[in-house]
Amino acid sequence: MQQEIHHHTFDNGLTLVAEHMPHVRSAAFNFLVPAGCAFDPPDHLGLAEVLTTMLTRGAGSRDSRQLSTALDNLGLDRDESVGVTHIRLWGATLARNLPSALEIYADILRQPHLPPEELEAAQALALQELHGLEDEPKQKALVALRRQHFPDPLGRDRRGTVEGIESLTPDIIRQHYQRCFQPHGTILSVAGSITWKPLLDLVGRLFGDWQGEPPPPWRIGPQPPNRLHIEKDTHQTQIALAYPAVPVTHPQYYDALGMVNVLSGGMSARLFTEVREKHGLCYAIWATYQTFKDRAAVIAYAGTTNDRAQQTLDRTLAELRRLADGIEEDEVARVQAGLKSTLIMSEESTSARAGSIASDWYYLGRVRSLDEIQKAIEALTPGSILDYVRTHPLRDFTLVTLGPKPLKA
């Protein structure tokens, strides 16, 4: 089935990307605003998280309660989240309610009240989540891993710091909003039962006169130390490691993705079968892939008991290195089946498609067709993945451990 994808960049720098999905009756939209935690001032880490909470505490002519009621009356499934590079506002509803939803979100993005009396409650929520990390050792180790592997501000965690959150004032919130919430670089993606021309006219009416200057780009800081142990008196040890990979813009991106899925693409993947099942060394183990525009990483995690922690690390590193010895045909077939399944399921979800086309536009400046992605998956071979592994071996890896004592790498 031929995809129907449209895009338009307005004079103010906002880009609208849309996909018509004739087999559905719903529509999803996705705003990517370049205002993620990388834009937080160093003295106010956590600012993007608090600002995002306050965005929906009243906007335009509606106070906080009226705004929530209006969105609920549309049957809108919605969420707001903070990433490193973007603040994301997402919603999905029946297609006939899409215009009304976008009109409300025009107020949220352009005329939020950011009421000073709501700041204390927003700070309390942010601090609760930050303190909650102490009860989640796995997440604490992974947060530390990203901070040690990627230079600032790319390694930041959206939760910020206690000092940063407590330092916020209504004026700081308002000034940061005015600096970062601008049309230039903002992406609005829509997927579902839509008609392009009416949608384009609607978005032009709601956002075409939105003005502002883009915030200054962040500066990449020095590379942090690549070893860290977080001492904690626990019965388990958390092991997190990362090493460089090619980003999504690279010609070998799909081979890198294939490699990660050989390692961790299900219960028959190498890390699970070799480290957990055959050797019984850990209760959880996996690997994943994280990308920015100009860099990426393979991130791996294992949770184990203290007495087996060193063996778990040694065995995990051995499996990463063993990739260079060869990739089997049946492993690639399994990876292809998993990636195709994910592709098919995303094809049936308006929310997934809205997210995918926004991501494609940000990273690639275009939208990949489903046929293009499927052909790239089908082109994976043991040889192509092995070539990637041998030209991008395990190197410069970052290791973070959390437990009673450090491990030897």
What digits encode the pLDDT tens for the residues 214-252? 878 889 999 999 999 999 999 999 999 999 999 999 999
- Residue from 33, 56, 45, 29 nearest 114 by CA: 56
Which CATH fold would you assign to the domain 4-207? Cytochrome Bc1 Complex; Chain A, domain 1 (3.30.830)
- Residue from 88, 67, 86 nearest 76 by CA: 67
Tokens (6 digits) for 374: 């499927």
CA 124 – CA 54 distance, rounded (Å): 12
The two domains 4-207 and 227-403 share their CATH topology (first three levels equal): yes
Tokens (6 digits) for 54: 């306050």
Strands 296-305 and 284-291: antiparallel
pTM for this entry: 0.95
DSSP helix/strand/coil, 167: coil
Query: For residue 341, with 0-12 CB atoms within 10 Å meaning exposed, 13-18 middle and 19 or more buried, which class applies?
Result: exposed
The one-letter code for the residue type at 164 is G
- Residue from 130, 114, 117, 118 nearest 45 by CA: 130
Report CA torsion sign: 100, 101, 104, 109: negative
Residue bearing tokens 């700081």? 172
The residues near 342 (Cβ < 8 Å, ≥ 6 apart) are none
DSSP string, 93-127: EEGGGHHHHHHHHHHHHH-B---GGGHHHHHHHHH
CB 97 within 8 A of CB 148: no
Instruction: Please state the domain extents for the chain.
Output: 4-207, 227-403
Tokens (6 digits) for 156: 């930041």
Strands 296-305 and 227-231: unpaired
Give the residues across from 145 on adjacent strands.
none
Q: Which residues of the chain have pLDDT under 50?
A: none
**SS3 track for 7-64:** EEECCCCCEEEEEECCCCCEEEEEEEECCCHHHCCHHHCCHHHHHHHHHCCCECCECH
pLDDT at 1: 54
CATH of domain 227-403: 3.30.830.10
DSSP helix/strand/coil, 265: coil
pLDDT at 217: 85
- Residue from 89, 278, 275, 105 nearest 206 by CA: 105
* Type and span of the H or E element at 90: strand 87-94
Tell me, rounded to whole angstroms, the distance of Cα 187 from its chain centroid: 15
b or e along 134-154 (b: 16 or more beta carbons within 10 Å of the residue's beta carbon)?
eeebbbbbbbbbbbbbbebbb
CA 53 – CA 105 distance, rounded (Å): 14
